[in-house]
Amino acid sequence: MQRRKFFKSIVAGGLGLAVSPALKASAAFTDDTPETNLQDALAVPRNSSSMPGKYPGKVTKVNHIGSVVNGKPSEEAAYDMLKAAMLSLTNEDSIERAWLQFVSPSDIIGLKLNPVAGKLLSTSHAVTKAIIKQLEEAGVPLSGLVLWDRREMQLHEVGYTEESYPGIKITGTECQDADGGYINKEGRLYSEDRVDKNHYFYADVEGEYDAYTMPFMVNGGKYSYFTKICTEQVTKIINVPILKNAGTSVTLCLKNLAFGAISNTGRLHQKLWHETCAYACAFPPLRDKVVLNIVDGLIGCFDGGPSANPQFICNYNTLMVGSDAVAVDCIGYETVIAKRIEEGLQSEEKAGARKFMELAQNLKLGIADRSRIELDEINLD
């Protein structure tokens, strides 16, 4: 299997499994749900930065009909949208003060991007550059920024390279050498050195992979290890997912964090998709470092997600910002499901589609109850 085709199978549902999260929710939340080490995460005291952050239940959504020009996201529009969102969210009149509510110039800030669907539907350079520019205006040096995702090679494939972002570290957990290989001289995967075996999500589900698949999982077994990017390299995380569906649910903030920060994920899609989205975010490497979520909805998809199918890609022309990943996911979910209903793909919300958000709320990671979410919607010309 070619690598891109392999990644598409992973994106579709994990090693060839393409099951809607909502459709399997009723089976996923019964008493036979596999055992996990969630209690280990809950035993670690929270801190002042812990999710849901400074603004629980608050989301700013900025719409701009001119944010995509000739099929390409506009850097100018993205900057204006992000500025409006940050000022609204923080109630500040200075973009510098708005950003400094979340980060400081001494932080090492990781921007968690999403390149898994290739050039058709990755975190846009327009939004990424807007974030970088505003962080610079707030006094954060380029040397204090890290662009990262699970697969370093995918970041490179969609244009996140040293040439395009000089002075900024670009990295991933899964990686290759200069010749495109995955094995070092000692016969180990390069990626094995990039996971932290002191921080893990255990689930009583076995992951077994062949020699081709293993480099993209890092390890098999019942343990998923957190990337050292989260545990050692960054002090704060800004989460930058894309507005995409996953069956009759969505893959936004929580999914981008959870499945992007741990190894051995293929085993988790079938029985623990919802739990993993919530539970992995309850562990300190994510819970205590994610300070802001910025959903790139300039271009997104409403079906066939989270992979990229051209016929289902659309211009949502929106940006959603909040410290509360769960609340942002709720607003993003409303947006995607409204589009799916408009397109005739479903007539109503499907049972179980919000399960991962509800689980995350139960873990005090954010607000999933729509009646408790404050939405500030701004329209820019």
Give mean pLDDT in consecutive 10-residue pieces for the chain, a chain of 381 residues: 43 38 42 90 96 98 97 98 98 98 98 96 98 98 98 97 98 94 92 98 96 95 98 98 97 98 96 97 98 98 93 98 98 98 97 97 98 98 81
Report the distance separating Cα 36 and Cα 48, nearest Å.
Answer: 26
Question: 344 to each of 61, 182, 212, 306, 348, how far by Cα in Å?
Answer: 25, 44, 39, 19, 10
> What confidence score (pLDDT) does residue 73 get?
98
> What confidence score (pLDDT) does residue 18 get?
36
The pTM score is: 0.93
DSSP state of 34: P
Report the distance separating Cα 378 and Cα 31, nearest Å.
Answer: 43
Please compute Rg for the chain using Cα positions.
Answer: 19
Q: On the CB side of 218, how many CA atoms lie within 13 Å of its CA?
A: 26
> What confidence score (pLDDT) does residue 31 get?
55
Helix ranges (DSSP H) in the chain: 3-13, 25-28, 38-42, 75-90, 95-100, 125-137, 152-157, 228, 253-261, 268-279, 284-287, 325-342, 355-362
Contact call for residues 263 and 219 (beta carbons, < 8 A): yes
Quote the domain boundaries for residue 320. Answer: 3-380
Contact call for residues 24 and 273 (beta carbons, < 8 A): yes
> What confidence score (pLDDT) does residue 125 get?
98
- Here the tokens at position 222 are 């019942």
User: Is omega for the bond preceding 285 within 30 degrees of 0, making it cis?
Assistant: no
> What confidence score (pLDDT) does residue 32 get?
78
> What confidence score (pLDDT) does residue 74 get?
98
Question: 285 to each of 104, 118, 157, 228, how far by Cα in Å?
Answer: 19, 27, 27, 9
> What confidence score (pLDDT) does residue 5 get?
44
Total count of domains within the chain: 1
